[in-house]
Amino acid sequence: METAQHENGEKVMENWDTVFKALSSEPRRQLIVSLLDAGPDHSVPLPESAIMPNVLADPEMLRQELHHVHLPMLADMGFITWETEPLVASRGPKFDQVAVVFEALHAEATNIPDSLVIGCQRLEEESQNNIDL
């Protein structure tokens, strides 16, 4: 029994490490949020859907980073699928493992410190919406 619990505990830790690694870069976070907004059976255009709205970005440079770094990583983790022509991404079989982090953050936006909210358009909107309720 203890062996099974230990193995399960190790797997849970590994899953959380994978989720946080996936979310450790802004383009990947933006892509996950864009896919949340798009709905289960829709794809999103890239690089547009991986750009933070309040930050200037070089779309061609981001396209290269997406193609060579971010999209393969997220796809290997099972969080997305992607295609090159046109460059788009869709939800993968394990998308819910990263989506739940943002769903929880958005639900608790009013409790998140301003230093993590101000400048993030989505969290600012969620925070205001939660205050208005």
Angle (nearest 5°) at CA 34 between 68 and 53: 90
Q: What is the pLDDT of residues 61-70, one digit of tens each?
A: 999 999 999 9
Task: Check pLDDT > 70 for residue 132.
Answer: no
Interval 98-108 mean pLDDT? 89
Task: Check pLDDT > 60 for residue 1.
Answer: no
Structure tokens at 109: 């936006």
Delimit the domains of the chain by residue range: 2-132
Task: Check pLDDT > 60 for residue 133.
Answer: no
The reported pLDDT for the residue numbered 109 is: 77
Q: CA–CA distance from 128 to each of 98, 107, 118 (Å)? A: 24, 11, 11
Residue 59 · residue 19 · CB < 8 Å = no
Q: How many CB atoms lie within 10 A of CB 52?
A: 16
Please, which pLDDT band fits residue 113 given cuts at 50, 70 and 90? Answer: confident
Tell me the pTM.
0.84
The reported pLDDT for the residue numbered 73 is: 98
Residue with token string 């919406």: 129
The reported pLDDT for the residue numbered 9 is: 81
Nearest to 109 by CA among 90, 125, 93, 85: 125
Instruction: Specify the fold of 2-132.
Output: Arc Repressor Mutant, subunit A (1.10.10)
Q: What is the pLDDT of residues 45-90, one digit of tens each?
A: 999 999 987 778 888 999 999 999 999 999 999 999 999 999 999 9
